[in-house]
Amino acid sequence: MASAPQNPGLPIFYKDLVPLNSRDHATWKSRSVDKADWLVGQHAIPLTVEEFPQAGRFFPIVFSSGDDSVPLALMGLNEGVNVFVDAEGTVAENVYIPAYARRYPFMLARLNPQAEELSLCFDPTSGLIGEFEEGAALFDGDQPSETTTGMLGFCEQFEQAGLRTGAFVKELEKHGLLIEGEVAIQQDGSEQPFVYRGFKMVDQAKLQEVRGDVLRGWNQSGLLPLVFAHLFSLDLMREIFGRQVALGVLPQPNVTLPA
């Protein structure tokens, strides 16, 4: 990923995780902010398959390199650049924000490796949750408030979507469709093209060789439209490139995306 958290065992954005409970956080509140500073400089954000149709209108959708690939929305083409979020955390108007980012600072996590159930946790360093005078209460007495119940439901839906996303990626891998990607962008006035690597994409040649009965099954299950949403979104690489040029943030001609 782009910027590793302070604790290497935590996913991006999260610097710490604490389980939410009525004993320690009975009077705590969640406050809304007009800035998303956790998105500043984050070039690659995880996506679930349900988000492909919406996200693919704004970002190239690629897959991370290495084992256990995950879909990623590219909000920039090199580390430390997000062309949709400025240095203060102001998000561009009408742009889609992935669910992974919208759930922050909450997430479901196991309190210990042996635990079967997931618990609602939060990042205490976020500045979004605390003993504030104003904000939405997290508890009503010793019971979760409507705000907390709503966020728990959102995180549960995200986890379920994550399972479906994992199954989608495994199906692509089963048929050998994910290959190391490469995109070359020729800028006017530049002698060399800008070549981007370090991500995976669906091999269109291999996709054409998939058996008809498999394709019919994918079409009926909704998997095939997701594949095409990914492929169509790759054309947006040039748009992201153009946004970086406009911002004066241009990497060297040969770049490996640190996704």
Lowest mean pLDDT among 1-5, 67-71, 211-215, 222-226: 1-5
Domain of 159 in residue numbering reads as: 18-250
Q: Is residue 4 part of a domain?
A: no
Report yes or no on 258 lying in a domain.
Answer: no
- Within a domain: 9: no
- Count other Cβ atoms within 10 Å, centred on residue 61: 24
Q: For residues 251 and 49, which has the higher predicted lDDT (pLDDT)?
A: 49
Long-range contacts of residues 125-134, Cβ cutoff 8 Å, at least 24 apart: 125/15, 125/16, 126/38, 128/30, 128/31, 128/33, 128/104, 129/25, 129/28, 129/29, 129/30, 129/31, 129/105, 130/28, 130/29, 131/27, 131/28, 131/29, 132/28, 132/29, 132/31, 134/29, 134/31
pLDDT in tens, 111-143: 777 777 899 999 999 999 999 999 999 999 999
Instruction: Pick the closest to residue 228 from 52, 71, 63 (CA basis).
Output: 52
Residue 5 confidence (pLDDT): 36
The answer to the question of residue 161 being in a domain is yes
Is pLDDT of 6 > 70?
no
Contact in structure between 171 and 210 (CB atoms under 8 Å): no
CA–CA gap between residue 44 and residue 22 (Å, rounded):
35
The whole-number pLDDT of residue 256 equals: 62
Whether 227 is in a domain gets the answer yes
Q: What is the pLDDT of residues 44-99, one digit of tens each?
A: 999 999 999 999 999 999 999 988 899 999 999 988 999 999 999 999 999 999 99
pLDDT band at residue 1 using 50, 70 and 90 as cut-offs: very low
* Low-confidence winner among 10-14, 44-48, 96-100, 150-154 (lowest mean pLDDT): 10-14
CA–CA distance, 160 with 158 (Å, rounded to integer): 5
How many angstroms separate the CA atoms of 65 and 258, rounded? Answer: 9
First to last CA, the chain: 5
Percentage of the chain exceeding pLDDT 70: 93
Task: Please indicate, yes or no, if residue 95 is contained in any of the structural domains.
Answer: yes
Number of compact structural domains in the chain: 1
Cis peptide before 105 (omega within 30 of 0): yes
Please write the tens of the pLDDT for every residue from 161-219.
999 999 999 999 999 999 999 888 888 777 788 888 899 999 999 999 999 999 999 99
Sign of CA dihedral 233, 239, 244, 247: negative
In a domain, 140, yes or no: yes
For 35, the token pair is 């800035």
Predicted confidence at residue 7, as pLDDT, reads: 56
Q: Could you tell me if residue 237 is inside a domain?
A: yes
